[in-house]
Amino acid sequence: MARFNLFQRVSQAPTNPQPAAAQRGFDVADLYRGPLAEKNDSGSDPGLALDEKLRQAYFWIVNTAIISPHYDIEYNEGPPQSFVLGDSKSRLTLPSGQSYSSFVLLPLLTFASRRKCLFVGGPGRGKTASAILMGVLAGYPVREVRRAMQHGHPQMTIADLLGNPLPADLVNAQKIEDIRVSWRKWLGMRVKIIDEYNRIPTRTQSALLTVMGDNYAEILDHIYECPESAWFLTANDEQGGGTYQVIEALRDRIDVIVQALAFNPRFLDDLLTRVEENVRPEEVVPRQIVFSEAEVDRLQPEIRGVEMPVEIRRRLEFFSSQFEFCEVAGDQFEYKTKDTARLAGVEWHTLTAQETGRDRLKDLGCQTRNGLSVRLLMTLLIYSKALAYFRGNRVVGLEDLRQILPFVLHDKLVPDPDAPFFDALGNGAYRTDRVGWLRKLFDSACADFDRLNLDRDDPINVFGVEFKRGLDGLNESEARSRLVKIERLIGEWSKGRKLYGHMYDDLLMLKYLHQRYTNYLRWVKTQ
């Protein structure tokens, strides 16, 4: 009877078919493969590529486990159909390519790349269920996943979270190292779930930070080294709600934030079937989509091995250089950053009031109160690769970066709601729609990148390529010539052009190159 189990049907490979080279090795045994599957076909196919398995897991989750009709990560393979609806001219796009639901895809990418994902959204929207599914995909029994899940509550202590010293040892021990610690089992799991993490008291949050950030736990000088794992946290309200304010360092450790969107009542029929069949999706996960520890280990290098082309990397560089620059924050060139202002504790509006000359509507940097950290950029690179890998590609595309970016920067790139951009006609919704705003921000940066023709004409890139060839064997006259070129370019830029974020970073790069050539020249002269 299991043959007709509606809840265990896995999408047939290939789940994202691409134009492929013709099959050469024909197996005559394929004659007997067809619409009637073998009963023991439910086992995992050892020859199946891991990206295909990930996609099968994705489609099983969206089609069977979490009824998710939202396709907010849109890909197109040609012009999409688009419709404008309602008084506010809402645009509905029907993508022409295989598109995805962020609520399922982002956790899966987190699982595959062993990063940290936060689910946000109202109660009862499947946040915890989604996290439990990730634990089951990692091969843990449902009961074990449920028991290992940490539920945040206001009385949660460090001992609740990490473990207890053995009471007998506490009484008898002569030295602190004699006290044995009973560590909590969840610390050793490769999928860690913290439910309602914003209800955890601040002190316990700090202990959690050590585990999340440095992958070890510490009690009474005893250390527990945790294995590399994927983290899933949930919060009913990430924007300041919860019992306790989440410490910034802990928030900063979260790689992606994904919002549980509303349930579409048109899918009530599926819920009804689930009720009538008394089925819990996490209890009927098909074996084909469960990953072994070795498979998840294998996923890591495969994802890291996805190529990030120079053209895409340049666009990310250009985008991220828009935000840190703050002309009025410092006197010395290097300190003209928003971080300088933040560290000084200056009121934001006093800084913006001093801004002159630049077009605050066009300057993307004016829309945010901070810039991007190194950790953020690394996360962006990893998730872009993971998304490309998930789609069966071995090279990151611009759309991969564009689609993943809002979920990585969700609460990391802080908007300035008083910026003129948000007051412009039609931009009001971006005050509340972070994903839409961040995507718009990236699109605007790409449009600027194109307008400046930086794909073809980027003098800084030319200098960089020249420098990367190395200084070995460079003669004095060539080094001088390069110094002159750098000085000439800065001289040109200084003639009346406004200073924008991307130029600021380029100028710092030129200063860096200038300094390297100056030092080299000095050394050459002594030879």
Partner 1 sequence: MSDNLDGGGDGQAGVCDAFASVLRSGRPQFNAQFTEARRVYPNLDGSAFLEFLRTDVDGLVQVVQQSHPEQITDLTLAAYEAGLELVGQKLAGPGARHPWIEEGWKRVLPALASALATAPARIIRSVSNALHHLANTPGARLEQWISEFERLGPQCGNVDTVLLVGQVLAWRAGLAHYRGGAVTAAGALPTALALSAIGAPSSADWPQLQERLKVNPWFSPTSPSEGDKESAGFPRFVAQAGAFRGFGGLFVEPPRVASSGQDFLVRSGDDCWLLTADIFGATFHRSSPAEFDSATQGSQLPSELRMNDSKLLWRKRPIEMPIDGLITSSAANPTTLALTSSLTHSVVLFALS
Instruction: Give the residues lining the site for partner 1 (CB under 8 A).
Output: 1, 3-6, 9, 19-24, 26-36, 38-39, 273
- Which CB sits closer to partner 1, 223 or 275? 275
Q: How far is the CB of 20 from partner 1 (least distance, A)?
A: 6
Q: Looking at residue 61, what DSSP letter applies?
A: I
- Which CB sits closer to partner 1, 225 or 269? 269
User: Can you give the C-alpha Rg of the chain in angstroms?
Assistant: 27
Give the helix/strand (H/E) hosting 159: helix 158-162
- Which CB sits closer to partner 1, 32 or 83? 32
Structure tokens at 282: 């996490």
- Which CB sits closer to partner 1, 21 or 171? 21
Cα 420 from Cα 381, distance rounded (Å): 30
Q: How far is the CB of 272 from partner 1 (least distance, A)?
A: 12
- Which CB sits closer to partner 1, 20 or 223? 20
Q: How far is the CB of 25 from partner 1 (least distance, A)?
A: 9
Cα 359 from Cα 502, distance rounded (Å): 15
| CB atoms near residue 352 (< 10 Å) | 17
* Cα distance from N-terminal residue to C-terminal residue, the chain: 85
Q: Give yes or no for a contact between 396 and 444, defined as CB atoms under 8 angstroms apart.
A: no
Question: Can you list the positions of beta strands (E) in 370-483?
Answer: none
Three-state SS for 192? strand
- Which CB sits closer to partner 1, 35 or 470? 35
Q: How far is the CB of 65 from partner 1 (least distance, A)?
A: 16
CA nearest to 215, candidates 192, 194, 197: 192
Cα-flanking dihedrals φ and ψ of residue 424, to 5°? -65, 155
Q: How far is the CB of 312 from partner 1 (least distance, A)?
A: 22
Q: How far is the CB of 106 from partner 1 (least distance, A)?
A: 30
Give the helix/strand (H/E) hosting 107: helix 102-113
- Which CB sits closer to partner 1, 30 or 77? 30
Alpha helices in 265-373 (DSSP H): 268-277, 293-304, 310-320, 338-344, 348-354
Q: How far is the CB of 37 from partner 1 (least distance, A)?
A: 8
Q: Give yes or no for a contact between 55 and 386, defined as CB atoms under 8 angstroms apart.
A: no
